[in-house]
Structure 1
Amino acid sequence: MKTIIVCLCFVIIGSSSFAQSFQSFDGTKIAYSDEGKGEAVLLVHGFINSSKNWNNTKLKQDLLKSGFRVIAPSLRGNGDSDKPQNEAAYANNAEIKDLMLLMDHLNLKTYKALGYSRGSIVLAKLLTKDKRIGRAVLGGMGKDFTNPDWDRRIMFMHAFLGTQPLNSQTEGAVNYAKTQNADLRALGLSQKYQPVTSPKELSKIKTPVLVIAGDQDKDNGDPAELKALLKKGVLKTVPGVHNSTHTSQAFSDEVLAFLAL
């Protein structure tokens, strides 16, 4: 669905696909899956998604087949993670703190990371905070998120908080969220306090970053403009639209080639 914004992870003990959780800095439970035994790759999902949305993608399957360890959290307010209703729970880069503490919890000294759609927005800020990331992939994203007054973010914030009437761009997203039994207020607060990474901050990132998007995807700005802000940025385009590109074999192939370097 084009109207789903910026952006895109069970508790079963004793299998290779553990659904686990830990308590973050403020007591919020963060759920995550952890599969595989090799070099760690963190997958950060997008809006109205969870860790489970990665399960049937070519990317996750190929990462595991290639010997990577795949860690996929559900960001606070999503999936099986807690969904705090107070604004303070989402402020001051709470999602970034969660991810860094998850990596601490798993005793990881280094890891690679990929975000898609809103997950790329979260990962961009994480890249400015966590020096353990060896390589990163920002999928389905241009540079629009660098604007703290981004009209698209504000529009979806109001739509999910119910502070403005729905329109043709937001109605489909809200209705979809309801079909997923998502918490609308939590999603609205995640938009209100969404991380903002300035062009200056992006220019200081020393980590190699792959910017990748579908050839029909300009939902969140031009990926080439995002790549231009990154010191070690690489741009790749594959066939697809925003809401399906990350599931494709072409996307997986480009990501695997980059992460393997």
Structure 2
Amino acid sequence: MPSPAVSFFPARDGVRLGYRELGEGRPLVLLHGISTDATLWLRHGQAETIAAHGYRVILPDFRGHGASAKPQEAEAYPADVLTDDAFALLDHLGLDDYDLGGYSLGARIVVRMLVRGATPGRAVAAGQGLRQVLGFGGGAGSFMRQVYAGSASFTPGSREERAAQRLLAGGGDPVALVHVLDSIVATPVELLGSVQVPTLVMVGSEDERADSADALAEALPYGTRAVVPGNHGTAVAAPEFTASIVDFLTDHR
């Protein structure tokens, strides 16, 4: 299936942001992770499969990613700006009855939207755990900063070197991506208790965040948990991942 065409909308500060759509039916906004873009949901047919179940799937690119603008100035990345941008997309499309999902960084933004008053019918937060939401995820963010800054030296052939090569091969702008990392804010656990939206917390069985994902599901009053095959990099491509989203959304209609 050809990739959907990119459309654009203005963020609240005027930055030009891109998004794609496919399918018809109930709107579902899906947010991608750091150093990738909306095609995360297209590469293995996830968005197409979900759309076939009666959904209008909406796939934005975060600022600093994909087809969206990549400002170089730190001032263009204030605290929680990705959440602000997601709310701007809802306003642009006039969405007030919709579902919401995200993977990795996208899941953190889903949580931020929920605690800031977003009211989707249901939500999916995949590839993240309570530790990361609380701002204690340190390792991955520190590693990415080193890679983007070009300040890391890894043993040739090591797992770290391969991970760094994958990050750089994504074609992202290192300056913009460091600013994105700086904009991410933590969510206090007490705010999670106020979320009244049924939320699926999903994680790969080999993802190092798996135990923390259990804690996130428990912290959300209407949180449920699902485990699918794979690690943080591969779980999103597993057929079970997409099937779990479809089952969760349709069961809660």
TM-score scaled by length of structure 2: 0.89
Aligned-pair identity in percent equals 28
Q: 1:177 aligns with which of 167, 191, 198?
A: 167
For 1:118 and 1:217, the matched residues in 2 are separated by 14
Partner of 1:24: 11
Question: Would the alpha carbon gap of residues 201 and 62 (structure 1) be closer, same or farther in structure 2, given more than 3 Å must change?
Answer: same
Letter in 2 for 1:143: L
Q: How many pairs were matched up?
A: 247
| Displacement of 1:82 | 0.4
Partner of 2:246: 256
Give the ranges of 4+ consecutive aligned residues of structure 1 lying more than 4 Å apart after TM superposition.
Answer: 166-171
Q: Which moved more, 1:110-119 or 1:129-138?
A: 129-138
Letter in 2 for 1:256: V
Partner of 1:148: 135
Letter in 2 for 1:158: R
Q: 1:100 aligns with which of 87, 90, 106?
A: 87
Partner of 1:213: 203
Indicate if the aligned counterparts of 2:31 and 2:103 stay in contact, CA closer than 8 A: yes
Question: Would the alpha carbon gap of residues 171 and 16 (structure 1) be closer, same or farther in structure 2, given more than 3 Å must change?
Answer: closer
| Displacement of 1:101 | 0.7
| Displacement of 1:219 | 4.0
Indicate if the aligned counterparts of 1:41 and 1:113 stay in contact, CA closer than 8 A: yes
Alignment gaps of 5+ in structure 2: none
Alignment gaps of 5+ in structure 1: 1-14
Partner of 1:120: 107
Answer yes or no: is 1:200 the counterpart of 2:187.
Answer: no
> Secondary structure in 2 aligned to 1:148?
coil
Partner of 1:240: 230
The 5 A counterparts of 1:35-46 are 35-46=22-33
For 2:249 and 2:76, the matched residues in 1 are separated by 33
Indicate if the aligned counterparts of 1:142 and 1:218 stay in contact, CA closer than 8 A: no
> Secondary structure in 1 aligned to 2:64?
coil
For 2:146 and 2:159, the matched residues in 1 are separated by 10
| Displacement of 1:222 | 2.2
For 1:17 and 1:151, the matched residues in 2 are separated by 35
Question: Would the alpha carbon gap of residues 122 and 220 (structure 1) be closer, same or farther in structure 2, given more than 3 Å must change?
Answer: farther
For 2:133 and 2:20, the matched residues in 1 are separated by 30
Deviations 1:107-156 (A, max 9, x none): 11121011111111111101112433110001111112233354225513
Q: Which moved more, 1:71-80 or 1:48-57?
A: 48-57
Question: Would the alpha carbon gap of residues 134 and 222 (structure 1) be closer, same or farther in structure 2, given more than 3 Å must change?
Answer: same
| Displacement of 1:184 | 0.8
Letter in 2 for 1:121: R
| Displacement of 1:60 | 1.0
Partner of 1:110: 97
Letter in 1 for 2:227: T
Question: Would the alpha carbon gap of residues 257 and 220 (structure 1) be closer, same or farther in structure 2, given more than 3 Å must change?
Answer: closer
| Displacement of 1:160 | 4.4
> Secondary structure in 1 aligned to 2:123?
strand
Answer yes or no: is 1:63 the counterpart of 2:53.
Answer: no
Indicate if the aligned counterparts of 1:161 and 1:189 stay in contact, CA closer than 8 A: no
TM-score scaled by length of structure 1: 0.87
Answer yes or no: is 1:88 the counterpart of 2:75.
Answer: yes
Indicate if the aligned counterparts of 1:153 and 1:191 stay in contact, CA closer than 8 A: no
The CA RMSD measured in Å over matched residues stands at 2.1
Q: Which moved more, 1:143-152 or 1:65-74?
A: 143-152
Question: Would the alpha carbon gap of residues 171 and 102 (structure 1) be closer, same or farther in structure 2, given more than 3 Å must change?
Answer: same
Structure with greater contact order relative to length (CA < 8 Å, sep ≥ 6)? 1
Q: 1:54 aligns with which of 36, 41, 53?
A: 41
Indicate if the aligned counterparts of 2:119 and 2:197 stay in contact, CA closer than 8 A: no
Indicate if the aligned counterparts of 1:144 and 1:220 stay in contact, CA closer than 8 A: no
